[in-house]
Amino acid sequence: MRNDQQYDWFYKKPAWRKIREMALSRDDYLCQHCFDEGVFKQADLVHHIVYVENDFNKALSLENLVSLCHACHNEVHKNDNKRHIRRNSRKYLKQKQLEKKKINIIKLK
């Protein structure tokens, strides 16, 4: 949630609160980055994988949301300047794992 002030109005919208709640319940109110590490930690907020300011069409899209704890959220935004936004997304990590598996399978053959 960068540019909190600029998009303040958005985060106050009932539509956002609704989709945020949906994202949290989908993720079982757990931080998804910690979960990927096998750690169960309660999510503190819902983060936009593609930022609101980058693509407003995805602002209310459930697939673009991920529940995170404060620590992981800070970690994600720390990489903003490096343009590694997608690196920490759950989908991206899953895809990477799949690619690794595929490579291993190919190697075995």
Binding site for Zn ion (CB under 5 A): 1, 31, 33-34, 47, 69, 72
Nearest approach, Cβ of residue 96 and Zn ion (Å)? 18
CA-CA distance, 69 to 45, in Å (whole number)? 6
Number of alpha carbons in the 13 Å side-chain half-sphere of residue 33: 22
In this structure, is the dihedral angle defined by the CA atoms of residues 6, 18, 93 and 72, taken in order, positive or negative?
A: positive
Nearest approach, Cβ of residue 104 and Zn ion (Å)? 28
Nearest approach, Cβ of residue 72 and Zn ion (Å)? 3
